Amino acid sequence: MTGTTFGSLRVRNYRLFSIGQLVKLLGTWMLFTAQDWLVLQLSGNSASALGVVTALQFTPVLLLTLYGGQLADRFDKRHLLLLANAASAVVATLLGVLVVAGVANLWWVFVTAALFGVISAIETPVRQSFVSELVGKDLLPNALSLSSATFNSARIVGPAIAGLIIAALHDRTGPIFLITALLCTAPLFCIARMHPAELFRAERTAVAASEARTVDGLRYVWRRPDLSLAILLVLVVGLFGFNFQLTLAVLARVEFHVDAKYFGLLTTAIALGALAGALASSRRRSRPSVYLVLTAAILFAGFETLVGFAPSFMIAVILLVPTGFFMIYFAQAANQRVQLGTDAAFRGRVMALYVLVFLGSTPIGSLIIGWCAERFGPRSGLWSGGLISLVAAVAMGVLQLRRAGGRIHVGLRPRLHVRVHETVGVPAVRPAVR
């Protein structure tokens, strides 16, 4: 089992990549936790202010991610990742110095959040597509899942450490930003030690690279219903369901009136479930079916809705574990379905579109969810996002069945059965007419 679950770690370049990402993401999640707490301190517990800073952090993703994908298909991804991680360290240092000096205000947090967003818009599609160069195609599903496990391991440890440090320092957040700046340098050393000759890179000419246009990537996805449905579902769920950076902070401080270390417990609970979901996905060896993606989305949306109605803090913590599991199980299934179904020449641009709808929808979603939390109470951000995601997943499931010529048959004797009959038409191949 160990050899199957952690098979990609036998590849040196991937192992170095994972170590660097784990250290850097540990600091990133510490920074996000401290940033959310700082915003609530500076704004008097305003959910709308938290929504604004989240929107500013993700708006550049909406504007620049497709360009980041174009860069990924044109230039050396290693060099781009080195530049992006160095920039992250500089911005974290700036914010840390401002907070420690006592001159930080909401506007400075807004500015640095936007700068982090610009860096993320370039770095994320490059990093996502770079994984396919670290391992062979047979190990790619495992590598994608382990990358997600790395991400969620940091989500477990980072917020917990940040919460403890904030509590120990009597609600001071400045040192956390400086620690993050130091941890952001880890990928620089790890990427520099990789062996470029061992990367799995598709051969391409300089002319082909210079013609890597964004519009061609969009046309490619439009002509591929198997990709477009998965990306559309990720758009809706990302827009309304994946706003935990906002909703959990508001739930902890406004609804349950707990301090920073207990807020860290909420984020740790969802990250613990997410880590389990990532490891459960790591044994997958083939491209996930569309029905696996849809089922995972439905289960995630259902549990998120339940969290919104949780009667106590501890019940919310318990429910966040399966919520996190199906959140990442859905995200990984969709990611693997898109990556494993995309030609290498288009992977950077297609993954940029995936990241755009996954993260770029957050500015709009955070403003909507933040307004809901202000208008209808802190719980509404969770249950409304869950219900909208649930309706979208069911609707797309029905659409997929109709497209595939499927039928749902329900029999009541001798017991209830639900069977899906699917007939997949194969288009006829016609000779070219000259």
pLDDT given at position 278: 76
Q: Is the pLDDT of residue 318 over 80?
A: yes
The reply to whether 279 falls in a domain is yes
pLDDT given at position 90: 92
Provide the CA 166 distance to its chain's centre, in angstroms. 25
Among 127, 143, 131, 156, which residue's Cα sits nearest to residue 275? Answer: 156
The reply to whether 430 falls in a domain is no
Q: Is the pLDDT of residue 423 over 50?
A: no
Percent over 70 (pLDDT), the chain: 82
pLDDT given at position 166: 81
Q: Is the pLDDT of residue 78 over 70?
A: yes
Q: Is the pLDDT of residue 107 over 70?
A: yes
**Rounded CA gap, 87 and 121, in Å?**
12
Q: Is the pLDDT of residue 303 over 90?
A: yes
257: left (phi over 0), alpha (psi -120 to 50) or beta: left
pLDDT digits (tens, 9 = 90+) for 207-221: 344 455 667 777 787
206 vs 336, residue with greater confidence: 336
Per-position DSSP letters for 247-297, written without gaps between them: HHHHIIIIIS---HHHHHHHHHHHHHHHHHHHHHHTT--SPPPHHHHHHHH
Ranges 181-195, 274-288, 412-426: which has the least confidence: 412-426
Domains: count for the chain: 1
Non-local CB neighbours of 341 within 8 Å, separated by 6+ positions: 224, 226, 227, 287
pLDDT given at position 336: 81
The reply to whether 426 falls in a domain is no
| Position 161 confidence tier, pLDDT thresholds 50, 70, 90 | confident
The reply to whether 333 falls in a domain is yes
Q: Which CATH number characterizes residue 270's domain?
A: 1.20.1250.20
The reply to whether 41 falls in a domain is yes
Per-position DSSP letters for 370-426, written without gaps between them: HHHHHHH-TTHHHHHHHHHHHHHHHHHHHHHHHHHT-EEEEE-SSS-EEEEE-----
Average pLDDT rounded to a whole number, residues 324-349: 81
The reply to whether 3 falls in a domain is no
The reply to whether 92 falls in a domain is yes
| Position 381 confidence tier, pLDDT thresholds 50, 70, 90 | confident
pLDDT digits (tens, 9 = 90+) for 25-46: 888 888 888 888 888 888 877 7
Tell me the pairing of strands 407-411 and 417-421. antiparallel
* Domain region containing 75: 8-196+208-421
Q: In the structure encoding, which two tokens stand for residue 84, read together?
A: 């992006």
pLDDT given at position 241: 82
Per-position DSSP letters for 179-191, written without gaps between them: HHHHHTTHHHHHH
The reply to whether 431 falls in a domain is no
